[in-house]
């Protein structure tokens, strides 16, 4: 059995506890081992990060991807906004995404002669999150003081679309040109269902509250993704759009960088790899029959990573999240909204959360995202009174601790979990690069199940998923 | 319903009176007077928008001495009126409209039927829009519109701009044009219509 992979280190952030309070990591628990994505799925593409080339490989891949991009419309006197999102900084420590952003700036400046190049970094529900990343990764210095975090409550701008008026963040669009700099990590597949994944930030991290509420409240779980397309296709956005550059991810790490003047062409390429590679990991995690899930990563509860997949997806892994014929995953905001006062779903179409998760131990995760649903549905132990207090103070998690218990140490929490859950299968969401940390028992199960999952996805599921998205298998 | 536990403290030395806090406050509880932000603690719902967007980092959130509970009792209004208003807005009375405060459509409807005329009034009485501050503006605007109310956004504010399209309003040609690209408009309409129709006696109880 392999040694556990080093987990991502805790980060200083106003949304989490001080890293000094994280006394021990789940990967250090007795009986823990690790699996590489390649051990489970040998056809997973080779990665450029984490790898020997380090961040230099990201710079090189970005330069190569940008070499074929038409930037002729950007003139030296023009202003350019490079648009980024918080998600990218949660991948593999954040440095690869930051390096791609820096390289885009340098390349565009050198190729076009433009010097007024700004970074506009959007957020989710933690409005200062990208301000923290901008400082941590030296982006303020690299962009010569022209780097800013933007939030959905900032001043807006009306955007006329083919479905009506939607609203963007004014500062996102306050330049002659915009460059969409994102990543292909699957992340919230429960929301986007791998439909227009590459376009999503136009309806989310670049958008105002009205637009985001349209996505999560007005359109329905599968029509919602049209919000972003409507904005991106608008005359206003098209008049400013220069090109896109994406950090291409697989569950194993960074596969490369892709760039295109045609966002939909790029989107099609990412739809295929997203369904194929993340679909396998997701399907394999759905094979877990029972487990204790340990959260141990610097992100809010639903966003902690294992094998490139977030906890929110694991909560829905008992269903096929890619199958668009299934209207609602076990967790989305639409799903959560459709639970009645009795704590049960209002409709029979709503699947319950993954019954394999017998208990959740929150060793380290942030607030800043409404997470009470998880604690309501899954028995949860929070490690440390400081972390419990952090959740209690969070305006988005005022009831989270009403449904959780507190343990002083991770050792105490695990003792309780093993005894109460009655399983020694453990999966750790700690962002381990290139694989995942699990208990030996769970490692055995995953290795045994992986070949059949690989075959099922290739032969049955992938063709169906692609067809549902209008793509030839 | 929300238990308000926090309140902002303004550092008057750092505050420049830029009015960002005033423009983002969902309940109009902070105003700039004599170039310094002043907080109306009775109105404040502890959302921390002001603290999160202050460009000078002049605001911190502190615990209230005594938490305040804000809630509209749905029993104050005849339930058939609540149900009717929710249905008109194409919402089930029981569905959550605010994930952070676990506020259901019925409570927002009750607030409106009891006299709330704007998103600010609704937030003040129910606490919606004071958790994440992002996701629940549209159902509030839909319920106000269903009650025949056309609220006007706060002058010079960034609190909200307007109601946006719902899936029922997507033009037919758009639905047809994109039906093969993974956008399930008609199917989602059916799903949401079914949800709206679920009555109090038909709730799944397995």
pLDDT tier at B201 (50, 70, 90 boundaries)? low
Helix (H) / strand (E) element for A254: namely strand A253-260
β-pairing, B36-39 vs B30-33, is antiparallel
pLDDT tens readout for residues A232-255: 999 999 999 999 999 999 999 999
Chain B contacts of A324, Cβ < 8 Å? 182, 184
Which B residues in the span 133-172 are in contact with A, Cβ-Cβ below 8 Å?
A: 133-139, 142, 158-167, 169-171
| ipTM surpasses cut 0.90 | yes
**A85 has which bridge partners?**
A122
* B185 close contact with A: CB closer than 8 A: yes
Closest alpha carbon to A292 in A427, A194, A184: A427
Q: Is the CATH number of domain B2-70 3.30.70.20?
A: yes
Query: Which residue's structure tokens are 């933690």?
Result: A126
Phi, psi dihedrals of residue A160, rounded to the nearest 5°: -80, 125
Closest alpha carbon to A130 in A121, A138, A139: A121
Mark yes or no for CB contact B164/A340 under 8 Å. no
* Residue among B30, B100, B179 with most chain A CBs within 10 A, to mutate: B100
pLDDT attached to residue B203: 46
Q: Smallest CA–CA separation between B199 and chain A, in Å? A: 9
pLDDT tier at B202 (50, 70, 90 boundaries)? low
Distance between CA atoms of residues A40 and A34, nearest Å = 11
Average pLDDT, chain B: 95
pLDDT attached to residue B205: 45
Chain A contacts of B161, Cβ < 8 Å? 156, 158, 167, 208, 210
Q: Is the pTM of this model over 0.95?
A: yes
pLDDT attached to residue B199: 80
Domain extents for chain B?
2-70, 74-164, 165-206
Average pLDDT over residues A304-320: 97
pLDDT tens readout for residues B45-102: 999 999 999 999 999 999 999 999 999 999 999 999 999 999 999 999 999 999 999 9
Q: What angle do CA B51, B141, A154 make, to 5 degrees?
A: 30
**A460 has which bridge partners?**
none
Domains detected in chain A: 19-44+285-463 (no CATH), 54-250 (3.40.50.11440)
């Amino acid at each position: 059995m392999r040694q556990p992979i080093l987990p991502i280190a805790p980060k200083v952030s106003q949304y989490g506890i001080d890293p000094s309070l994280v006394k021990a990591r789940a990967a250090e628990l007795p009986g823990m081992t690790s699996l590489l994505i390649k051990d489970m799925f040998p056809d997973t593409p080779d990665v450029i990060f984490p790898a020997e080339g380090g961040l230099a490989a990201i710079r090189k891949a970005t330069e190569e991807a940008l070499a074929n991009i038409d930037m002729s419309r950007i003139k030296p006197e023009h202003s350019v906004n490079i648009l980024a999102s918080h998600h990218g900084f949660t991948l593999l420590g954040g440095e690869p995404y930051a390096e791609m952003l820096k390289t885009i700036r340098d390349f565009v400046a050198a190729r076009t002669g433009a010097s007024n190049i700004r970074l506009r970094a959007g957020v989710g529900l933690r409005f200062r999150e990208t301000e923290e990343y901008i400082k941590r990764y030296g982006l303020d210095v690299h962009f010569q003081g022209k780097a800013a975090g933007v939030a959905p409550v900032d001043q807006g701008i009306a955007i006329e679309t083919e479905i009506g008026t939607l609203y963007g963040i004014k500062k996102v669009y306050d330049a002659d040109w915009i460059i969409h700099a994102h990543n292909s990590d699957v992340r919230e597949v429960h929301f986007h269902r791998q439909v227009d994944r590459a376009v999503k930030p136009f309806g989310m991290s670049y958008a105002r509250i009205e637009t985001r509420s349209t996505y999560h409240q007005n359109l329905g779980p599968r029509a919602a993704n049209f919000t972003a397309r409507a904005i991106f296709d608008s005359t206003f956005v098209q008049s400013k759009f220069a090109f896109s550059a994406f950090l291409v991810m697989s569950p194993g790490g960074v596969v490369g960088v892709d760039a295109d003047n045609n966002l939909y062409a790029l989107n099609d390429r990412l739809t295929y790899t997203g369904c194929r590679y993340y679909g396998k990991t997701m399907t394999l995690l759905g094979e877990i029959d029972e487990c204790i899930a340990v959260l141990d990563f610097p992100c809010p509860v639903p966003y902690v990573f294992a094998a490139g997949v977030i906890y929110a997806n694991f909560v829905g892994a008992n269903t096929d999240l890619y199958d668009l014929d299934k209207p609602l995953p076990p967790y989305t905001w639409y799903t959560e909204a459709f639970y009645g006062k009795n704590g049960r779903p209002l409709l029979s179409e709503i699947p319950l959360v993954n019954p394999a998760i017998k208990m959740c131990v929150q060793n380290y995760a942030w607030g800043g995202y409404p997470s009470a649903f998880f604690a309501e549905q899954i028995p949860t132990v929070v490690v440390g009174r400081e972390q419990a207090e952090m959740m209690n103070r969070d305006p988005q998690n005022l009831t989270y601790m009403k449904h959780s218990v507190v343990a002083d140490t991770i050792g105490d929490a695990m003792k309780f979990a093993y005894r109460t859950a009655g399983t020694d299968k453990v999966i750790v969401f700690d962002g381990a690069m290139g694989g995942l940390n699990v208990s030996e028992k769970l490692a055995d199960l995953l290795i045994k199940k992986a070949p059949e999952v690989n075959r099922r996805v290739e032969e049955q599921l992938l063709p169906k998923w692609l067809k549902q998205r209008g793509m030839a298998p | 319903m929300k238990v308000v536990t926090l309140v902002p403290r303004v550092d008057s030395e750092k505050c420049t009176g830029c009015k960002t806090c005033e423009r983002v406050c969902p309940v109009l509880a902070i105003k700039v007077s004599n170039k310094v932000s002043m907080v109306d603690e009775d109105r404040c719902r502890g959302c921390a928008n002001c603290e999160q967007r202050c460009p000078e980092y002049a605001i911190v959130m502190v615990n209230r001495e005594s938490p305040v509970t804000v809630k509209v009792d749905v029993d104050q209004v005849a339930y058939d009126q609540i149900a009717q208003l929710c249905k008109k807005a194409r919402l089930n009375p029981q569905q959550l409209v605010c994930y952070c405060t676990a506020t259901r459509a019925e409570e927002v409807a009750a607030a409106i039927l009891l006299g709330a005329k704007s998103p600010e009034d609704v937030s003040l009485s129910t606490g919606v829009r004071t958790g994440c501050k992002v996701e629940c503006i549209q159902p509030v605007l839909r319920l106000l519109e269903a009650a025949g109310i056309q609220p006007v956004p706060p002058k010079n504010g960034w609190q909200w701009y307007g109601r946006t399209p719902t899936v029922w309003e997507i033009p037919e040609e758009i639905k047809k044009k994109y039906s093969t690209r993974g956008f399930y408009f008609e199917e989602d309409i059916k799903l949401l219509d079914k949800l709206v129709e679920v009555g109090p006696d038909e709730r799944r109880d397995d």
